[in-house]
Structure 1
Amino acid sequence: MPAPQPAVLPAVPGTPLPAAPSSRPPGTEASRRLLGVEPEPRALTLWGSSSMSSEGGDESTPVPIRIHEHLALSAAPATVHSFGVGATRSAHTLLLRGLDTPRVRPVGDGVRAADGTVRVPVALDSALAPAGPLRIPGSVDGTAGVLDGSSGTWFFAADGAEHDSDGALAGDRIEGVFTSVLNEVADASRQVLWMGKNNILDVPGVLADTQRMWDAAETPDEDTLVLGQWCTEADADGSETGDAVAEVNAEQARRYGEHFLDLQQLLTGEEGLRCSPLAPLTLLDQGSTQAALERGVVPPLLVATDGIHLNGWGNLAVSWALVRRMQELRWL
C-alpha cells in the first residue's frame, strides 16, 4: 500500500507585474485641453512712431485698418500693447521703453490743472526735445507720474501731488532720474520694432537705437521682429532719404535675418502687390503703380493723402505680412 502523500497546498498566486506605462497621455485631446493648464501666452509689444500707430489707416478701405487691432485678433488670447507715437524719433522709443533714464530737473513753477494735476516744467539732461503726443508713465526717484511732452515742452505731472506744509506744490521739488514704467510691460513681451523713419538720415543712430531695443528683449534672438522702412515720394531712388532707407534696410536684413520683415519689398515687389488682401486693387495693372515703381516708391493706391503714411490698404498688407511671418516664427 503506497505511503500517504501530504496534501498539496494551493499555489500562491504570483504578484502581477506592473504594466508598462503608456506612451499616450490619458484622456482625449479635447479633455486634455479642457483640464490641462496652458502656459500663459506671451504678450506682444509694438514700438515705433506714426506708422506703428496706423495713422492714415482710416483712409480708402471700407473700415479703418489699424495694425495693432489686426494683431490683437490674430494673437488672441495674448495681449497686444501698442506704443506707437506719431512724430517721435528712435531716441524717444528708448525713453518710452525705459532704456534711457535721463535726469529730470524743474525749470519753472508747477501749475495745478483743472483736474487737480500738478504739472511742473522740466528739462532732461539728455537734451532730448519732446515730439508728438508723447506721454510716458513713470517715476522720478520713486515719485510716480507722467512725463508729458505733448505740448512741445516737457512737463512732469506727479500722481496725487498736493500742497505741502509750506504751501508750495509738492511737484515743484521733483528732481531725479526718470524711468518709464513701460519697461515692466515690455520685459516679458515679444516685440515688434518699426522705429527710426523720422530720423532716418542718422543711419548710425537708427541702427544703434534699434539694436538696443533688440538687445533688451528677454531672449533677443527669438523675441523681436524688426520692420523695414518704405519709400514715399520724398524718398525716391537717388534721394538722400531714399539712400538712407536702403542702407538701414540692408543692414537690418543682414543683422536680423528672418526676424527682419522687408516692407519696401512687400509694398513694391510683385509678390506683395499681388498678395490676397490687395488682389481686388489689381495694382500691377494700374499706370500709377508702374510709374511709382520706376521711382522706387510705394504705389499711391496704398498711401494716405498726406503722402507719408499708409492708408487702410497699405496697413492691411502689412498686417497680412506680419501675421504670416509670426506664424513662421511660431509666435502664433
Structure 2
Amino acid sequence: MSVKTGSPFVPELGEQYRGKLALLWMGKNDLSYDPATTDSNPPSVVIARTDATFDRLAPLIMRSLVLGYFLNQSVQWTDAETRARIAEVNAAHAARYGDLFLDIQAFMVSPLIWELAEVTPTADDLAYQVDERKPLSLSADNAQFNAAGYLAISRLIYQRLIELGWYEEPTPDVASLPVVDNFDRANGPLAGTYPNSGGVRWVNMEGMYNIQESKAIAANTTSDTVLIETGSAGC
C-alpha cells in the first residue's frame, strides 16, 4: 500500500487513552547529530513533533506533561553541537509549556536527584554532574537511567502532579486504617469488635469466616484452607 509523503500516523492505542494523563518524553533519538552525515532532524523538527502530539491531546486532555532531554554519559565538552541541540529543545519546551514542562537535565545535575533516588553519589557521580552528564550511579548504560534514576524521575513527576492539582494525596480514614488481628481468641464466628482494635469491628464477616486455632477459615468450606493468616488487617 502506498502512502503519500507527509501523511499523519495516528496510533489506535493513543486514541484509546486520549482522555488520560499523558507524559510526553520522545524524540531524543531523532536529535542525534553526526557531522559526517546529512542532518535530517534539526531541533526545530523534533520540537514540532512534540508540539503536534501535545496539541492533538490538548482539546480532550488538559493533563499532559512534557519531559525534557538530558545529556548522556558519553557527551564531552567538545560535543558543542550536541549540547546546543539539547539546550535548544529544552528551552523551546520550557517557553511553550511552563509548569507543564519538567527539566530533566536541570534535575539530573541537582542534589535533589540523589535524595529522590535514595542513592549516595560517588566522587565520579559528582564530577559527571559538574560536567552536566548523566551520573554513573543512576545509569543502566550510556543513554538510559537505571532503576534508581527512574525512581527519582517518577517521584519528580509525582511532585509536579500534586503541585498542578492533578492528584491529591489520599486522606486516611480512621475507619479504613489497618489494625492487626491475631485471631487469638476462642474458636467461633469472626464477628464484632476484636482485642486491641480501639473499637474497630470486622464488617460483613458474620457467617463468612470462623476463627479456628488462631486463624480465619471460610465458614462455608469443609477444608482447612486458611484464607486469612494470623496478623491480617481488618477494617
Which TM class, normalised by the smaller chain length? 0.5 to 0.7
CA contact (8 A) 1:190 1:217 kept: no
1:213-272 deviations in whole A, cap 9, x for unaligned? Answer: 111124489321000011112334452222211111111111111100011111111233
> How has the CA–CA distance of structure 1 residues 246 and 221 changed in structure 2, closer, same or farther, with 3 Å as cutoff?
farther
Rounded Cα–Cα distance in structure 1 between residues aligned with 2:149 and 2:3: 37
Cα deviation, residue 183, structure 1: 4.2
Unmatched runs of 5 consecutive residues or more in structure 2: 33-41, 168-235
Unmatched runs of 5 consecutive residues or more in structure 1: 1-104, 106-122, 129-176
Q: Does 1:278 align with 2:117?
A: yes
- Identify the match of residue 222 of structure 1 among 52, 62, 72: 62
Rounded Cα–Cα distance in structure 1 between residues aligned with 2:77 and 2:136: 16
Q: Does 1:205 align with 2:41?
A: no
The two structures have a TM-score, normalised by structure 2, of: 0.60
User: Using CA pairs below 8 Å that are at least 6 residues apart, which structure has the higher relative contact order?
Assistant: 1
Rounded Cα–Cα distance in structure 1 between residues aligned with 2:112 and 2:85: 24
Q: Does 1:253 align with 2:94?
A: yes
CA contact (8 A) 2:20 2:61 kept: no
- Identify the match of residue 26 of structure 2 among 195, 199, 209: 195
Rounded Cα–Cα distance in structure 2 between residues aligned with 1:127 and 1:255: 25
> How has the CA–CA distance of structure 1 residues 220 and 264 changed in structure 2, closer, same or farther, with 3 Å as cutoff?
farther
Rounded Cα–Cα distance in structure 2 between residues aligned with 1:247 and 1:192: 20
1:171-225 deviations in whole A, cap 9, x for unaligned? Answer: xxxxxx9753234313322311001110125200111111111111244893210
CA RMSD of aligned residues (A): 2.4
> How has the CA–CA distance of structure 1 residues 325 and 178 changed in structure 2, closer, same or farther, with 3 Å as cutoff?
closer
The 5 Å alignment of 1:100-119 reads 105=1
The 5 Å alignment of 1:122-271 reads 124-126=3-5, 180-201=11-32, 202-219=42-59, 222-239=62-79, 240-271=81-112
Larger radius of gyration: 1
Q: What secondary structure does 1:235 align onto?
A: coil
Match of 1:296 in 2: 132
> How has the CA–CA distance of structure 1 residues 318 and 260 changed in structure 2, closer, same or farther, with 3 Å as cutoff?
same
> How has the CA–CA distance of structure 1 residues 287 and 183 changed in structure 2, closer, same or farther, with 3 Å as cutoff?
closer
> How has the CA–CA distance of structure 1 residues 221 and 269 changed in structure 2, closer, same or farther, with 3 Å as cutoff?
farther
> How has the CA–CA distance of structure 1 residues 252 and 269 changed in structure 2, closer, same or farther, with 3 Å as cutoff?
same
> How has the CA–CA distance of structure 1 residues 246 and 271 changed in structure 2, closer, same or farther, with 3 Å as cutoff?
same
Rounded Cα–Cα distance in structure 2 between residues aligned with 1:331 and 1:320: 14
Structure 1 counterpart of 2:12, one-letter code? V
Q: What secondary structure does 2:153 align onto?
A: helix
Structure 2 counterpart of 1:211, one-letter code? D
Rounded Cα–Cα distance in structure 1 between residues aligned with 2:77 and 2:87: 9
Match of 1:308 in 2: 143
Match of 2:164 in 1: 329
CA contact (8 A) 1:214 1:220 kept: no
1:280-322 deviations in whole A, cap 9, x for unaligned? Answer: x221xx2111221232101110011x31100011111111101
> How has the CA–CA distance of structure 1 residues 267 and 179 changed in structure 2, closer, same or farther, with 3 Å as cutoff?
closer
Percent sequence identity over aligned pairs: 30
CA contact (8 A) 2:128 2:134 kept: yes
> How has the CA–CA distance of structure 1 residues 183 and 320 changed in structure 2, closer, same or farther, with 3 Å as cutoff?
closer
The two structures have a TM-score, normalised by structure 1, of: 0.43
> How has the CA–CA distance of structure 1 residues 326 and 236 changed in structure 2, closer, same or farther, with 3 Å as cutoff?
farther
Rounded Cα–Cα distance in structure 2 between residues aligned with 1:290 and 1:190: 34
Structure 1 counterpart of 2:111, one-letter code? E
